[in-house]
Structure 1
Amino acid sequence: MSVADRLDLTLRLVQGSDRVSVTELSQRLGVSEMTVRRDLDALERKGLVRRVHGGAVATRTRAEDAGFSAREPWQAATKDRLGAAVAAMVEPGSRVLLDAGTTTVHVAEHLAARAPLTVAVLSLQAAVRLADRPGIELLVVGGRSRAGEGSLVGPLALRTLESLAFDCFVMSIGGVHGEHGWSEFSLDDAAVKQAGLAQAARTVAVADGTKLGVRAFSQVAPLDAVDTFVTDFAAEDAETHPNGPHTLKALRGAGVPVVLA
């Protein structure tokens, strides 16, 4: 396991518990307690955990309360793997709609290798990653930039999407639940995703395992509305993600292929 992946998994284990000890992390990760302490110190410097005697606790910042810049460092190595896996599914020559989010920014980074592509983006951060990349025809969907997120939403964004057709919609998501389907914390973001689903021949949803079993505020669509779901391999580990295996089973039962990266 790389250092970046180990830090990602350490953060998940801390976030998934009220308190986790250095000894528990050492046993779970298969590394020395000294290594665990160094990793926890590194996560604390980023503001992602708080060190306590003998272990660590999560900072308890909820995903829906944290802006893009706060969430961007979370599980960065995992999101980069997901980004590479999703980009590999995009055929050169395609017309792609790329959703907003910290994971889809990593998709944007890897899409340049799939050129030529026409890519319409729903986030300012993705636009920056794709601007002036050889073989990428970049379209920035109009709309209002949501404060703290840089996601493009509102009536102008919806009207623009309704006038276009895409081969593939790469959709990020706030939560996916076995009974309640795909959902988002923001009504505006949910509306844009619904428009993207309607205008695309194929939808690839992507999210790290922390989103599994989550029912956010606004429902986007039922489980079978997407064609493929890409998540990380840790989603199958009930110790890391208690709701992961159940949600993956529900997705497969709904006929949605699941790709673990």
Structure 2
Amino acid sequence: MSRRKLENKSLSGLLATSLQTQIKTDNFHNFYMLESKELGRGRCAVVRKCIAKSTGQEYAAKFLKKRRRGQDCKAEILHEIAVLELMKSNPRIVNLHEVYETANEIILVLEYAAGGEIFDLCVPDLDDRIGERDIIRLIRQILEGLRCLHENNIVHLDLKPQNILLSSINPLGDVKIVDFGMSRKLENSSELRQIMGTTEYLAPEILNYDPITTATDMWNIGVISYMLLTQESPFVGADNQETYLNISQVNVDYSEETFSSVSQPAKDFVQKLLIKNPE
């Protein structure tokens, strides 16, 4: 599957606010023991599990480069911190514990979600598929987190199974939404147009460079629901061009074979989300 991220750099939509979180310049490694295994990696960040030396508490440390491709990205990192602060009371959003800064990086110490990504529940060769009742619970929890974001006029813009974590896997735990690096604040005074996100999860308005609204995130809820229900990605093609075409034409397989074990209400839910120009 294609996982390429598109990004058109723009500083519009970033939260301009003074942070409540103290950004510490102490040596991170004096306070945390870092495990070598990566929990996740993107173009601009690496996430590793760490353990607080004083308490033994497990956390996830997200290392963000302050300069990427010669550009200063500190404003975008501070925006991500501001969004996490704003969402601090929401149990569906990963909790920010503290922040460190070095010469080249900013380190976010985040709540550790031991259950991993819900992407692991979307793979075709999964031995024990989760039932529809569990899927409904997970989607409802994602929507609870998303509602809090949207009530604050913030769109995530990179919702995908890799950015939805679980507090535990056995038993199946609760949702933790992560990675707000591409999130943006919608302003009444101006339209937000950006080309950003991961190829197969892009909404049609992103591809068309149309104004972004909260409906953009809802498209991604449809994609995530489809993947959890069918273990298939609805739009991914043989290459990026085919994927773009599938998205722009909303070419989705709703065949009886693909949805053989899915209830009609669940199928209807997906179909109502994966539409162009939602009202």
Tell me, yes or no, whether TM beats 0.5: no
Structure ranking higher on relative contact order (CA contacts 8 Å, 6+ apart): 2
> By percentage of residues, which structure has more helix?
1
